Chains A and B, each alone.
Chain A
């Protein structure tokens, strides 16, 4: 009896583990490194790291393409100074392990002077530890997690906004819409609560009355909190967190007759939000969410880029292609400055990293960039998007209703 029971138990445990393993995807295959031939004295390489395979490759490939276009179009001055510029694209497969393995190869290639990457913060953060230890400059076109810069590494920079600033965005948006009172909710995660705290701070600073500030891990039953919200009757409800909670809460609040405005962050940006809440998102004063980056068309100076990109790659640029173009352009400008400062000789990596940080009013296609002491842009663009339909299939038709330029929190 006993032997049988334990055999059974172990079987169960093994089966559970097997199921878990089946569920989590992405097998770890070898990184595809398209390393270029051995470098001669004046070859300088810029590496790109992004998912070139897997389900995020649509965006990752265009991050590489954006960098390629920048090098093709902007490396003229460096050529005149006698240097050959090449792109070294790496596939991080949206996987931290692959990102770190690639990063080790990258720092081992002395010709690489700057890295344009990554797409996922979860990959960028461990990979940039490697860049940091090698003194190699990294300009991120897409990573919004605060930790990317808050570590204070001299080599790591980004040209997009930060997740935690979205709270400020939401509050500024609410204020601009004449909202006088808000009820603030969050999901008790570092992400959601962080955003909600910034929202509360900014809302108070803008003279809004904060009628409540509550965190909850609840995913289903929001009845008690909605009772408090309806009694307090705020003009807007803010939720810092993910759609899977926010949309459920918004629906239940709307069902209870709440007519005010709903505002959330980019955790809300999923068509499943419409599946959960449907037309209730459109009712009352409507539903809005902030994001950190918009499509290329959302930026003023990208018209030429879009045309050139289409000509070169036969399709419209995906999100972050334009940012990648600018990241590579920043790398090129910094390398150029570092060479000049070194009497037209090959610069050190440290000098390039320093030059990136010291760039003044760099005019890219997605904005004018200056970096602060930790590598955040001194102002970044944020977007507020309005839900335009309760139909999940129409989620991409949601419209940008406000674009804001906001500074990151003081380092």
Chain B
């Protein structure tokens, strides 16, 4: 009896935290070592001379001094990617289908949240003079509203555009997903142009989110680099971690989670267990959509400006992260997101210096994707693709 009914499985709650720490530290360490090794190699070449001429520091010292900031920025970005990637991987795990419209679900979450916050600001409830406590309450409410609408939109999308095609050849729902993606982009744009008449929407300035916590100054030659992290980065990281922990618990330690995993493996047998497969698939879209919506608002909080096409690049990157980690695998989405965020930030921060300006920040995506292709050549199923244990 005691063995059978486990009220709260502490292990399941803590396990993703452990994984997060291991993945973050591991990826950060590997990339740091590679970059430092490169810096040592390039130190005595023209690249080193150039940086010395400019800033009076060695290339190695430059690399070291910038490392903490690069790591924090990369991890923050990685967590945003991971949160979006979870939506792709959940749906893929259950339906073996890539929901290309997930990027627009993300955009819907961002728009709903931002519009609510703008309305609150116009009503004078947030902004100058509001209490910090209420600022956070409203931020959370906006995020919950974004999650609800995004989750609802995902369910509607599944019901209308994917379910009728469930037994059609694989390419058909994929085309439908691309159609839905275009449709939602234009629906957002049309709604905005009819209501606010604006293309760009701006996350209101309120609360203490832009404030930075300074951890000190890092000496770089004669100069000092400030090392600080904005409060909003902490919010992004904490929210993403919470989402991961809750999702992991939901999938691995609850009845509905077990049903989701059963449907993912064998729909017919799952229905013999009494599982309503359509219902579970709808729940999967709801969860994926809500996560995407939350990620949308976090993205708007971190990067300020959104427009109806805001989902495209983060969506593409998150999809890539999901593939890199092993699509269908929740832990893989996490690992893929962290690695991609770090890779992109490392490339953006160091590529220009290491190549003496020949390949600058504009190549950060090309570089990140080249690494992805390399990984996939050696591990076609992604980094954790063969690890069956975690598959949804």
Interface residues of A (CB under 8 A from B): 1-2, 4-5, 8-9, 12-13, 15-16, 19-20, 22-23, 188, 209, 211-221, 223-225, 227-228, 230-233, 244, 247-248, 251-252, 255-257, 272, 275-276, 278
Pick the residue among A213, A228, A244 that contacts B305 (CB under 8 A): A244
Name which residue of chain A comes closest to B188, CB basis.
A19
Pick the residue among B183, B190, B310 that contacts A12 (CB under 8 A): B183
Pick the residue among A4, A19, A278 that contacts B183 (CB under 8 A): A19
Q: Output the least CB separation between B208 and chain A (Å).
A: 12
* CB-based contact A225/B348 at 8 Å: yes
* CB-based contact B364/A19 at 8 Å: no
* CB-based contact A8/B361 at 8 Å: no
Interface residues of B (CB under 8 A from A): 54-55, 62, 65-66, 69-70, 73, 76-77, 160-161, 164-165, 167-168, 172, 175-176, 179-180, 182-183, 186-187, 189-190, 193, 200, 202, 205, 210, 212, 220, 223, 225-226, 228, 230, 299, 302-305, 307, 310, 313-314, 344-349, 352-353, 357, 360-362, 364
Roughly how many angstroms separate A16 CA and B226 CA in the complex, as a whole number? 48
Q: Output the least CB separation between A110 and chain B (Å).
A: 44
Pick the residue among B180, B225, B362 that contacts A231 (CB under 8 A): B225
* CB-based contact A20/B305 at 8 Å: no
* List of B residues within 8 angstroms of A8 by Cβ: 160-161, 164-165, 176
Pick 30 A–B contacts, CB within 8 A, sort by A: A1-B164, A1-B167, A8-B161, A9-B175, A12-B183, A13-B179, A19-B183, A19-B190, A23-B189, A23-B193, A212-B357, A212-B360, A214-B360, A215-B360, A215-B362, A219-B305, A219-B313, A220-B299, A221-B77, A224-B70, A224-B73, A224-B349, A225-B361, A227-B348, A227-B349, A228-B348, A231-B225, A255-B210, A255-B212, A255-B230
* List of A residues within 8 angstroms of B304 by Cβ: 220, 248, 251-252, 276
* CB-based contact B168/A212 at 8 Å: no
Nearest 5 pairs of A and B residues by beta carbon: A224-B348, A220-B303, A19-B186, A223-B73, A12-B179
Known contacts A224-B349, A224-B364, A244-B200; 7 additional CB pairs below 8 A are A5-B165, A5-B172, A223-B345, A224-B346, A224-B361, A227-B69, A276-B305
Roughly how many angstroms separate A15 CA and B359 CA in the complex, as a whole number? 42
* List of A residues within 8 angstroms of B299 by Cβ: 220
* List of A residues within 8 angstroms of B167 by Cβ: 1
* CB-based contact B161/A12 at 8 Å: yes
Roughly how many angstroms separate A257 CA and B175 CA in the complex, as a whole number? 46
Roughly how many angstroms separate A12 CA and B162 CA in the complex, as a whole number? 12
Roughly how many angstroms separate A20 CA and B66 CA in the complex, as a whole number? 45
* List of B residues within 8 angstroms of A15 by Cβ: 183
Roughly how many angstroms separate A35 CA and B183 CA in the complex, as a whole number? 44
Roughly how many angstroms separate A256 CA and B220 CA in the complex, as a whole number? 17
* CB-based contact A224/B223 at 8 Å: no
Q: Output the least CB separation between B346 and chain A (Å).
A: 8
Name which residue of chain B comes closest to A245, CB basis.
B305
Name which residue of chain B comes closest to A275, CB basis.
B202
* CB-based contact B361/A9 at 8 Å: no
* CB-based contact A188/B73 at 8 Å: no
Q: Output the least CB separation between A131 and chain B (Å).
A: 33
* List of B residues within 8 angstroms of A276 by Cβ: 200, 202, 304-305
* CB-based contact A216/B361 at 8 Å: yes
* List of A residues within 8 angstroms of B160 by Cβ: 8
* List of B residues within 8 angstroms of A220 by Cβ: 299, 302-305, 310, 313-314
Pick the residue among B176, B307, B314, B362 that contacts A188 (CB under 8 A): B362
* List of B residues within 8 angstroms of A223 by Cβ: 73, 76-77, 345, 348
* CB-based contact A230/B226 at 8 Å: yes
* CB-based contact B164/A4 at 8 Å: yes
* List of A residues within 8 angstroms of B212 by Cβ: 255-257
Name which residue of chain A comes closest to B62, CB basis.
A231
Name which residue of chain A comes closest to B300, CB basis.
A220
Name which residue of chain B comes closest to A280, CB basis.
B210
Roughly how many angstroms separate A15 CA and B310 CA in the complex, as a whole number? 21
Q: Output the least CB separation between A277 and chain B (Å).
A: 8
Pick the residue among B168, B175, B223, B345 that contacts A233 (CB under 8 A): B223
* CB-based contact B168/A2 at 8 Å: yes
Q: Output the least CB separation between A191 and chain B (Å).
A: 16
